[in-house]
Structure 1
Amino acid sequence: MNAFVIDAFEFSRHREQREGDVVIADLPRLAAESVNMPASLHWSLHGGTDGLGHPQLIMSVSGSIHLMCQRCMTPLKLDIASESVLILAKNDEHADEIDALLADDTIDVIVGSKTLNVSDLIEDEALLAIPLAPKHDVCPDNAAVESAMSARKPSPFDVLKGMKQ
């Protein structure tokens, strides 16, 4: 995906909407987490205003990504379906004011710009949707893990206990 840049404030003011698909390989930070480069994510971006008149963007990202299971080190398919409300502020101080006014953890306040890279928003949304340590609920090859656990050496204390008797 080539860099898709918008004027965030104008996009919101005109209530514009865009959507598309992006190949994970085109998102370098997300591609580094993934084990399948050919996959893609669907995204949509809607501009508007919140109930207090602040410009906002609603970013949705969905699709599947394969990550490495941190328990068994085999691929793990993770479905992503994420949506974020992003209130736009003019600068950091304004963002802090809006954040304090809203006092809502489900809404993120970001500093908007005339050159907002939508690819970065898509990648950020996907990265926030994946767990820090992805794991299968039940690993597909549990037999290898179980045999490694059962093949443990006997405790030296158990050996000494046996000698004592």
Structure 2
Amino acid sequence: MQTIDIFEFARRRQTLSGTISVADMPQLSAFLADTTGEIRWFAEGLGERRGRPAARLEIEGEVAMPCAFCNGPVPTEVYSDAVFLVVKTEAEADAIPVDEDEEDEEVTVGSNRFSIAAWVEEEAILSLPATTSHDEGCEGTEVFEEKRAEEEAAEERAREERPNPFAALAGLKTGR
């Protein structure tokens, strides 16, 4: 697993790139239907921003997430391009004020043995959609739609069969 001194990497404005197999990212794989594919990444040091070392990480690739209806694999694009302010401790990260003008910056705790694979894996996980489904031809979608239509029809029948509570009041009315 490749590690770098992220502080020196940022300061020297270095660049690195590569690919990581999805099979080599167990935390990402836990969200997927299978472990096929790879994530391509490009990292560059940006010198300093707001007085702190900064680096940019861009990732892209395609993974197979499970369909929300049938659990089959759905090809899903993974993409992120983010700038990171690098700090030495969690306390230092917590002390950075949220600056409305710099919404495109994230904060990460760095080290002189910073794992690029872990950085890429974390960004890949954060870029995944909450759920995916097949656009067409998913048996699970058809079953779901049929079940939802049946439930809606049953609710409508129940509403129609329910007596109107105001009908009894109409019988109590006396001619005024």
TM-score bracket for the superposition, by shorter chain length: 0.7 to 0.9
User: Which of 22, 26, 29 is residue 31 of structure 1 equivalent to?
Assistant: 29
Could you say which structure has the larger radius of gyration? 2
How far apart in 2 are the matches of 1:156 and 1:96?
Answer: 50
How far apart in 2 are the matches of 1:157 and 1:80?
Answer: 42
Of 136-145 and 68-77, the range deviating more from structure 2: 136-145
How far apart in 1 are the matches of 2:161 and 2:93?
Answer: 66
Instruction: Name the counterpart of 1:82.
Output: 80
| Gap runs ≥5 in structure 2 | 163-176
RMSD: 2.7
- Residues 139-150 of structure 1 mapped to structure 2, 5 A cutoff: 139-141=136-138, 142-150=141-149
- Report the TM-score, using the length of structure 2 for normalisation: 0.76
How far apart in 1 are the matches of 2:89 and 2:145?
Answer: 54
Instruction: Name the counterpart of 2:62.
Output: 64
| Gap runs ≥5 in structure 1 | none
Instruction: Name the counterpart of 2:4.
Output: 6
Instruction: Name the counterpart of 2:132.
Output: 135
User: 1:72–1:139: 8 Å Cα contact kept in structure 2?
Assistant: no
Of 37-46 and 68-77, the range deviating more from structure 2: 68-77
Instruction: Name the counterpart of 1:113.
Output: 111
Change (3 A) 1:48 1:73: same
Q: Give a deviation string over 1:75-117, Cα, whole Å, max 9, x none.
A: 21111121111101122333233x3164433211122111111
Change (3 A) 1:152 1:49: same
Q: How many residues align?
A: 158
**Identical aligned pairs, as a percentage?**
23
Q: CA deviation at 1:47?
A: 1.0
- Report the TM-score, using the length of structure 1 for normalisation: 0.81
Change (3 A) 1:140 1:13: same
How far apart in 2 are the matches of 1:12 and 1:156?
Answer: 61
